[in-house]
Amino acid sequence: MKQEIERVLRKMNDLSTIEEIRQVVGGDINEAFYVRTKEEQYFIKGNSGVPSHFFKAESSGLQLIRDSHTISVPRVYYYDEPQQGEIGMLAMEWIDGQEKTHTQEKLGRNLALMHQQISDRYGFSDPTFVGELDQPNDWRDSWLDYYQDFRLNHQFNIALEKGRLPEKRKIRLEKLILNLEQWIPSSPAPSLLHGDLWGGNFIAGLEGEPFLVDPSIVYGDSAFELAFTELFGGFQSSFYEAYEEISPLPKTYEEMKPLYQLFYLLVHLNIFGESYGPPVDRILKRYVG
Ligand code: ADP
């Protein structure tokens, strides 16, 4: 990796002495490093098995959030578009700080403001990634159609291919996808969403300022984003209170929540395997018996 880091520093025109390279733990996909040169500090990560548009998608997602002027994101300095088998690298601003008492409150408020940035359709122009899985995208006039086809059906097909769907689960999931309009709205506001907002994807900078990292951009129902924050925890009540002061959640939120969490559980089922089977089955049982 050291050679790759040196290559990236040259690309960024930082030819000063490297004073420290330290591995950063926490990411589950890439190898990540803190790099300090005489001139600057960086967060640099690399991966040898990703498609060529992997880091481009991350970089343009961060840029889109930055352009919304609602919530902080690290500045991206450089990314590769690697050929198959090559190592791809991404270099960005090093964010250094600690969560303070107001961090989550500000995160909730800023996220609500970000969700007020709306498109006129649902989905996204480019493919993205959820974890390491491809997330194909396109624009749809109905959120229900987008969520059905590009999210649940797409994970259904991956699960089928990977043998993650015992007969009962398969039948229930098919039934749920077919009947989704009973619970999922067609035309909520098409909000700008981070798209992969679990507790590991926000970090604190100077003065506890919240920053979003690792987005998987989509325009869609803000309840989809909030539902995922609740799946694995890590968000305090001050986050939700601040969010709801700006954008109260719809009355139907609690009923939709498991169906939005289902997407992320299917992603986990497809990446990590059967340990995510039982929570998937519980949701299916609740909605389609
Ligand atoms: P992966 O893409 O492998 O999931 P992440 O981008 O999430 O990796 O980064 C791994 C960890 O590094 C994160 O959990 C976070 O704590 C930290 N991190 C991410 N971006 C930065 C940054 N710009 N500055 C400092 N630390 C960061």
Report CA(72)–ligand 1 centroid distance (Å).
14
The pLDDT mean for the chain works out to 96
Candidate of 35, 36, 42, 43 to mutate for ligand 1, largest count of ligand atoms within 8 Å of Cβ? 43
- pLDDT above 70: percentage of residues in the chain: 99
Asked if the model's pLDDT at residue 28 lies above 80, the reply is no
pLDDT of residue 29: 76
Q: What is the pTM of this model?
A: 0.95
Separation of CA 27 and ligand 1 centre (Å) = 6
pLDDT tens-place string over residues 237-253: 999 999 999 999 999 99
Cα–Cα distance for residue pair 63/41, rounded to 1 Å: 20
Q: 185: CA distance to ligand 1 center in Å?
A: 33
Residue 254: Cβ within 10 Å count: 11
Ligand 1 centroid to residue 215 C-alpha, Å = 11
Nearest CA to ligand 1 atom 20: 213
Ligand 1 is surrounded, with C-beta below 6 A, by 24, 26-30, 32, 43, 45, 74, 92-95, 200, 203, 213-214
Q: Is 109 in contact with 245 (CB distance < 8 Å)?
A: yes
Report helix, strand or coil for 254: helix
Q: Does residue 26 carry a pLDDT above 80? A: no
Structural domains in the chain, sorted by start: 2-93 (3.30.200.20), 103-288 (3.90.1200.10)
Q: Among 48, 213, 216, 232, which residue has the most ligand 1 atoms within 8 Å of its CB, making it the best to mutate?
A: 213
pLDDT tens per residue, range 171-218 = 999 999 999 999 999 999 999 999 999 999 999 999 999 999 999 999
- The gap between the terminal CA atoms of the chain, to the nearest Å, is 51
pLDDT band for position 1 (50/70/90)? confident
Region 37-48: mean pLDDT is 95
- Please give the average per-residue pLDDT across 47-54, as a whole number: 89
Contacts 24+ apart (CB under 8 A), 181-184: 181/144, 183/252, 183/255, 183/256, 183/259, 183/287, 184/143, 184/144, 184/147, 184/148, 184/221, 184/256, 184/259
So what's the pLDDT on residue 25?
A: 85
Residue 215: closest CA among 190, 192, 238, 247: 192
Residue 18 parent element (H or E) = strand 18-24
Catalytic residues: 196
**Residue 27 confidence (pLDDT):** 66
Q: What is the mean pLDDT of residues 82-87?
A: 88
